[in-house]
Amino acid sequence: MRRLLGLAWLWSLALAFPRVGVHEGFTRLVFDLPSAQVVYRLDQEGDLLTLVFSGPKVASLIAEAQDLVVNSPEVASVQVVPEKERVRVLVRLKGAVEVKAQRYPDPDRLVVDLSLKVASLTKAPPPPKTPEAPPKGRPPKPPRPVVLLDPGHGGVDPGMVGYVVEKEVVLDLALRLKRLLEGEGIGVRLTRDRDMHLSPDKRTDLSRRAALADSSQVNLFVSIHVNASPTRTAQGVEVFYFGRSQDPRVLAQVIWENGGGEVGRRLTEEAKTVAERILTDIVAQANQRFSQRLAETLGRRLSQATGSPFRGSFPGDLFVLRYAKVPAVLVEVGFGDHPAEGRRLADPAYREKVAQGLFSGILTFLANGAYAR
């Protein structure tokens, strides 16, 4: 529980510039300014809000570029970029958001309140009722992180079949991991909690999983899979984050996880066009860096917990990760067709070690600043 208090503390402190507050119905960004002579320009274009600060001492505001994953109902992320004699702030909004900016003196600051427009509020589904909701009259608890776990495949799609069946192993791992995370006060959602597909059509199935990751109520997305190799001799842990696949071996695996065969190739092509767009989207690049860091942390912790070698983290055009606005990875926990590792994956005691490794990786990532750095 002590760890969770640490997280809440990180969350409330957020960044010094801007300070971020997530409130009932709005997100507030407070920009503390070094003097009354600092001027700002504010532009809103679609889901991107840009603020540019210039004037005396503005260079003292921030030394290097910073990324902040906010993920409130109104704001996905904030990036602060120092430029020559200016500071640029890019705020990625979630849909139709109303912006109110007000300047205050003593001390000089700009307060920007962001709230969902009424029209989009009426369209949005009501927030799910959780048993943890505080009773009326008490101050709300600080927001707790919520992790979305995606046990891959399921139902008509068994995934890889070797010494184990992928859809069975990954569901068991996700349920074990859920218990561990909830024990630490972290919220958990699952894309499936039993042997089922989200659609018999692979494209629809992966899109539904991806849409859950795009929800405003999720801070991290971890899709769990079991690997296979053409020679059945490979073993170890691999973790993927969204991006262009550089290496033909990785591409072959990405096509397989995107459904395999002709479907897999088509969905990989679709994901590729999204991956290419990241090259020109500075906010998506920030989230990609977070995802890469999550991939490295998970891979190392999983390897430490199980003794299975960490083969690395790789960018891949994974359909299920393509629109995630939060740190998102696909982890291959081991090779189910390797004579030793495949048999280990059938053992409940080994699966518990895998779940412990993923748990440790997620906690480390959250504590090291998933929200702020």
Instruction: Give the HSE-up count for residue 359: Cα atoms under 13 Å, Cβ half-sphere.
Output: 24
Which residue's Cβ lies closest to Zn ion? 225
- Closest CB 83 distance from Zn ion, rounded Å: 43
Q: Is 322 in the site for Zn ion (CB under 5 A)?
A: no
For residue 275 the two structure tokens come to 């991956």
Among 159, 259, 264, 316, binds Zn ion (CB under 5 A): 159
Question: At CB < 8 A and 24+ separation, what contacts does 102-110 make?
Answer: 105/36, 107/32, 107/33, 108/32, 108/33, 108/34, 108/35, 108/36, 108/38, 109/30, 109/31, 109/32, 109/33, 110/30, 110/31, 110/33, 110/40, 110/51
Residue 264 sits in the site that holds Zn ion (CB under 5 A):
no
Residue (52 or 161) nearer to Zn ion, CB:
161
β-sheet with 86-93: strand ranges across? 39-45, 48-54, 86-93, 75-83, 66-69
Stretch that binds Zn ion, among 59-67, 131-139, 152-160, 266-274 (CB under 5 A): 152-160
Which range touches Zn ion (CB under 5 A), out of 80-88, 144-152, 177-185, 348-356? 144-152
- Which amino acid, 226? V
**Strands 328-335 vs 187-190: parallel, antiparallel or unpaired:** unpaired
Amino acid at 336: G
Q: Which of 18, 151, 152, 187 binds Zn ion (CB under 5 A)?
A: 152
Nearer to Zn ion, 260 or 312 (CB): 260
Check binding of 151 to Zn ion (CB under 5 A).
no
Min dist. Cβ of residue 86 to Zn ion (A): 46
Q: How far is the CB of 336 from Zn ion (least distance, A)?
A: 10
Binding to Zn ion by residue 225, rule CB under 5 A?
yes
Residues that bind Zn ion (CB under 5 A): 152, 159, 225
